[in-house]
Chain A
């Protein structure tokens, strides 16, 4: 019994970070109706940024968070202008292909530079012991930081003028444009924010688990599952969906080999979308 409670708690801790990653995806999705296939690359970018910064500077990994947040934002805005801006309003197919090709370039460069071996970042945070179980300190810190960032995102979206503009564009781009909101700037800002969130999520994941250049695909998939679970374009739902996925993963890991996790997640993704297509699709339209 205690074992189950412990694995539930750990699932919530890890799942909240998945939720943070998915928030980046769902923000872009909700605001500009773009499926961002560079999401995995952004997550891996965060991981390697942390790896490079800590080995170069050597202070606490968590101090890198603002750097990665700002760097991710700038890269995201750049990415918007390179690969996404021309595609706005075009068929889904073209946006998928353009973001997919950027992903290919990033992963290809990463593979050429770092190979596909395992990397990890040394983080020493004391764990919390409860009865026979010890919760890893990195998981706890990651969950706390996730809560802080999610709270900041909420404040931004619901209590600032700029956040209000973002929500207006998500609701109806033409009407927002007519009301005098510079929608293109809002779109690029949202894309930058989405990439920054993905990068920070990647950084937090890197403090918890070892990673490779190719890890992005698996975490991108998790983000899609979370997004499907939590409702498209809904950052708060993403956090809940993330926690749900963390729990599902925790249980699945006790029942079957790890190599099946990805398959289970994909099946979950497809099933959720098939069983709740209205609920999933209607969020934005209504």
Chain B
């Protein structure tokens, strides 16, 4: 029975993208994100969904390393922050247009990740995880001492940059739609990876790296590519996010807390599942919102994240999707 299910999943995976149900589920989510705040020009909902889109982008891309390859990246936020810095710098100081600055930020951060990845991915398991904290701390220390980017005080953009997008009001909508597009691309990308040979290789590495290497998976190359790919879209999201705020400083850009939240989201939704990353991000964003507004809990956000993560790791290692798969096994064929 088990093998029969595998075949059906494999059949779906072999079908062209446009005929797979999950492709359309992702598309529906994106359409919902676009349409919902437009109804009645709901700015409050837009801001809340914007945060959800950022969380989904971070979680989905973290999933490539954490979920597929089984490598913990404690410092995934470095991509987001560095992308933000590069983008804000290119726009404010060199006068680049937004799209060019975004693409440049994504490409640069990805290239840097490939470079660092080839080095630190020679470390296995726990050592890699520790080194990723180091990458984040190292980049944060570098930026804090780097005067052209404002050092530790940070970097303001003149609000006139919004003029090219038709004024601040219109700019905020454009940034929102772009972030939703980045979120959608993240979901499509992780889905495409999961159903590809590359993704299978990553998952083999996640199961047993030595065995994967023996079976011919080029583990170092795959890991470095995965690390680099998981940097591209978060960097662009960071660019948009900090462009929106018109201000960036090291403490916000390289906040390890956000990395942690991304990990909690991936584990909450279910490691290695795309639906899980999206639902986990949405749930976590809602939870966080209600915690922040509550008097008792606003100081204990870190504690709540920690307790949540501990409970998931100890008692529900499969996360939400793991539970759903067990409860309704047929969903496995549709929800990736």
Residues of A within 8 A of B (CB): 35, 83, 86-87, 91-94, 96-98, 100-105, 107-109, 111-112, 221, 224, 257, 259-260, 262-263, 266-267, 269-270, 273-274, 277
CA distance A91 to B272 in the complex (A): 15
CA distance A35 to B144 in the complex (A): 30
Which of B133, B309, B314 lies in contact with A104, CB distance below 8 A? B309
Q: Is chain B's binding surface mostly helix, strand, loop or mixed?
A: helix
CA distance A14 to B142 in the complex (A): 26
Whether the Cβ atoms of B138 and A273 lie closer than 8 Å is no
Answer whether residue B289 sits at the interface, using C-beta atoms and an 8 A cutoff: no
- Given A93-B72, A101-B309, A224-B130, answer yes or no on A109-B303 (Cβ-Cβ < 8 Å): yes
CA distance A11 to B130 in the complex (A): 25
Selecting from B2-10, B49-57, B119-127, B277-285, the interface stretch reads B119-127
Whether the Cβ atoms of B126 and A105 lie closer than 8 Å is no
Whether the Cβ atoms of A260 and B307 lie closer than 8 Å is no
CA distance A277 to B307 in the complex (A): 34
The interface residues of chain B lying within 8 Å CB-to-CB of A274 are 119, 122-123
Q: What are 28 sample pairs from A and B whose C-beta atoms fall under 8 A apart?
A: A35-B129, A83-B310, A91-B70, A92-B125, A93-B66, A93-B125, A94-B317, A96-B129, A101-B306, A101-B309, A101-B310, A105-B307, A108-B302, A108-B306, A109-B303, A112-B300, A112-B303, A224-B130, A259-B144, A259-B145, A260-B145, A262-B137, A263-B141, A266-B134, A267-B138, A270-B120, A273-B123, A273-B131
CA distance A35 to B124 in the complex (A): 13
CA distance A100 to B133 in the complex (A): 12
List 10 additional contacts besides A101-B305, A105-B303, A112-B300; criterion CB under 8 Å. Answer: A35-B130, A83-B310, A93-B70, A96-B129, A221-B134, A259-B145, A267-B138, A269-B131, A270-B119, A277-B123
Whether the Cβ atoms of B314 and A266 lie closer than 8 Å is no
Whether the Cβ atoms of A86 and B314 lie closer than 8 Å is yes
The 6 closest A-B pairs by CB, nearest first: A108-B302, A104-B306, A266-B134, A108-B303, A105-B306, A101-B309
Chain B residues 88-146 with CB under 8 Å of chain A are 119-120, 122-123, 125-127, 129-131, 133-135, 137-138, 141-142, 144-145
Q: How many residues of chain B are within 8 Å of chain A by beta carbon?
A: 41
Q: Please indicate which of the listed interface residues B66, B126, B135 has the most CB atoms of chain A within 10 Å of its own CB.
A: B126
CA distance A274 to B119 in the complex (A): 8
Chain B residues 305-336 with CB under 8 Å of chain A are 305-310, 313-314, 317
- Given A93-B72, A104-B309, A260-B145, answer yes or no on A277-B303 (Cβ-Cβ < 8 Å): no
Tell me the smallest distance from the CB of B148 to a CB of chain A, in Å. 17
Q: Is chain A's binding surface mostly helix, strand, loop or mixed?
A: helix
CA distance A111 to B119 in the complex (A): 35
Which of B141, B305, B310 lies in contact with A98, CB distance below 8 A? B310
- Given A94-B317, A263-B137, A263-B138, answer yes or no on A104-B145 (Cβ-Cβ < 8 Å): no
The interface residues of chain B lying within 8 Å CB-to-CB of A107 are 302
The interface residues of chain A lying within 8 Å CB-to-CB of B313 are 87, 94, 97-98, 101
- Given A97-B313, A270-B120, A274-B119, answer yes or no on A103-B138 (Cβ-Cβ < 8 Å): no
Whether the Cβ atoms of A98 and B302 lie closer than 8 Å is no
